[in-house]
Amino acid sequence: MPPNDSVAHAQRYRGPGIVDTVPAIGVGKTISAPANGSSPDLSIAKRELDAIAYIAGGAWISSQGRVKFVPFFDASVDPVSGLVTYMPHQAAPVAIIPREEIAEPISVTPGYKYRVPLFDVWWGWNEATQSWGARAPDGTVSGGGEVHGVSLSALNALGQARLVANRQLADHIAKWIPSQGLAQGLAQRQVQTLGLGQLAWRFRTTYAHPELELGDPITLETDRFIAYDPTAAKGIAGAQWVTGYVVGIFDVWGRDLAVWVPTYASIGVGEVQVSSAPPAPNPSTCTVTVQATARAGGMLVVSWAGSPTVASVRVAWTTAAALAPAGPLGAPVEQAALGGASSLLGLPGSSLQAQPSEVAAGAPSRLSGAAGPSGPPPAGAGTVLPGQSGQTPLGPFAFSDLVYVTVTPYATIDGTGAPGPAVSTQVRMFSDPGEHDPGTGLRPRYQPFHDGQFALKASDAAGRETTDHIYIDPTKTIKVGTAANPLSITKTLTIPFGELVPGSDTTKWLVFTTGYVTANVLNATQTLWASVVLPRGVTITAIRAKVYRNAAGDAAVITFFRSTSTSATPLASLTAATGGWTTQSASISDLVGSEEYYLEVDLTGTVSIADARFAWFELDYTMPDYSKSY
């Protein structure tokens, strides 16, 4: 990397870094310094390094004069789906502290103030378009979006978080995330670990522990914590061994410590011998996702990912009748399970307080974390499937089926022995095969409705505009109003003076360039005619004419006729008033059929030929649909 593209940091100050996963987790971002900032901008460098540490599941600390990465989570990648799973970091404890050594428990609480049962993660930032994903000309978005993490067990047990819950990953971190699988893993981390609260405990010990540094795993014993674990459906009380990570050291001797406990599953891990060996294996940490597939009949795919101690799982499912109650968080089947957690070090008020949220949002999501209100199979039921992680298809299921799935982890390959706490979830089959795009959760344009028809393509959110042609069957038309309340459009037809023709070859008339016609002889009525061409099916509602009459002896009369091949019927007559230009009008109601329409204009001037004039004739008509127009 060229010198101008990096922040100088001597090799002797670099400690252990981030260990790559296999397969690797790709991240990427375009970083620009602010216009008024320095180059290189060291504040941006530190923030971006912290963002990478967050995604990797740890934090940067200072250790013996070197910058060192300490992991809180171990990440794994499904090579098929690309789903990233984070599990609490597995390592031998650096120190084991029995309860007799704890001199003063300063704060041992469930941390409800910082719980995060709901968490959103955006992904796929496009620097060129300044948007999440790429937007096609037809308005569709691909290569970006948002996932939504939900912990059902936390919501059912404690409700929504209303104090300092951070609901969305900060933009400067999210812009590093290129894939939906990574975004899902981060959302899983957040709600799984912080959904029920932030277990950050502070205490003072009798003996000094100068060997400890931030991020070190330790095991301690306490009888000061009482809680109920809704995920495992058990109470926690009495003396318990707990596995956690040092996140605060408040004196140089290591007597005043803060420890973060990832989940309730880390409490009660069994009696620990004072040695450098890790605590007994616990197969309880297991993440479950449920996804829809595009195969016919409506299939589900259940995926699981366990800690290194998980050797097999038992998977069982049941269904409820179609359209049965879905519970407080029923969701479409295309929404798959998310849970998860994360934290950063050293923030005021809480050593693990999450990143502040920036923009509230919500997008294609997945539900998981705990059983629904009723109906899941019991723990330990179902078929044994070996492996720390894997997936299996279930189904087929019918539209609107409510499907309950329970996955129970075991430390043995044959699914025997003591199980870990089961993980249950529920999904409702609110989609048919292919109804939603598996990458974005959006409906594809080719998906038909129940009548076999498709949606017209609108380019705006209100559905009023399109960037394409619209074609309609020749036997159909576009109607006005609604089916329950048909309406009509009023249109106006104007016939100017230039459309008139003389009544005979003896008619004398004169056109003035100022826009009207007069008789060209005194004291003799001159008659002119004009055809009125109208589409069939419209209704004539009014006529108007602009005419001029100077005095009582003058005349300007317009008569409107309907004609058949055998007779003509006057429908209305307009007579000019004296004193100059006036607009005369009349209301009529006549449905246009096969008849013809025309008007007669009679003009008489006594003193001057300009004493009687005609400028224009107007006709209003209504039409119920667009087939009744020219």
For the chain (630 residues), the mean pLDDT of every run of 10, in chain order, is 54 82 81 61 77 90 88 86 86 88 88 86 86 68 79 81 79 90 89 88 91 91 85 83 91 90 78 38 56 52 81 84 31 28 31 32 26 66 86 76 85 85 76 57 71 82 85 87 88 95 94 93 96 94 97 95 92 95 96 95 95 97 85
The residues, any chain, with a CB within 8 Å of residue 476's CB and separated by 6 or more, are: none
Residue 321: how many other CB atoms lie within 10 Å: 8
Cβ 53 vs Cβ 69: under 8 Å: yes
Dist CA 154 CA 191 (whole Å)? 9
Please give the pLDDT value at position 286: 64
The 8-class DSSP code of residue 351 comes to T
Dist CA 283 CA 306 (whole Å)? 7
Copy the structure tokens of residue 430: 């609110």
Dist CA 594 CA 591 (whole Å)? 10
Q: Are strands 217-222 and 95-97 parallel, antiparallel or unpaired?
A: parallel
Please give the pLDDT value at position 140: 61
Copy the structure tokens of residue 529: 């005619």
Copy the structure tokens of residue 378: 């019991």
Dist CA 457 CA 84 (whole Å)? 35
Run of H or E including 480: none
Please give the pLDDT value at position 194: 87
The 8-class DSSP code of residue 168 comes to B
Please give the pLDDT value at position 352: 41
- Tell me which residue of 369, 359, 336 sits closest to 168, measured CA to CA: 359
Please give the pLDDT value at position 196: 87
Cβ 286 vs Cβ 314: under 8 Å: no
Dist CA 18 CA 13 (whole Å)? 15
In terms of C-beta density within 10 A (0-12 exposed, 13-18 middle, 19 or more buried), how is residue 204 classed? middle
DSSP 3-state of 185: helix
Please give the pLDDT value at position 594: 92
Cβ 292 vs Cβ 244: under 8 Å: no
Helix-strand-coil percent breakdown of the chain, rounded to 5?
Answer: 10, 35, 55
- Tell me which residue of 490, 491, 506, 500 sits closest to 599, measured CA to CA: 500
Cβ 122 vs Cβ 183: under 8 Å: yes
**Structural domain boundaries in the chain:** 3-83, 489-623
Please give the pLDDT value at position 551: 94
- Homologous superfamily in CATH for domain 489-623: Galactose-binding domain-like (2.60.120.260)
Residues comprising the chain, all counted: 630
Cβ 302 vs Cβ 402: under 8 Å: no
- Tell me which residue of 90, 331, 291 sits closest to 184, measured CA to CA: 291
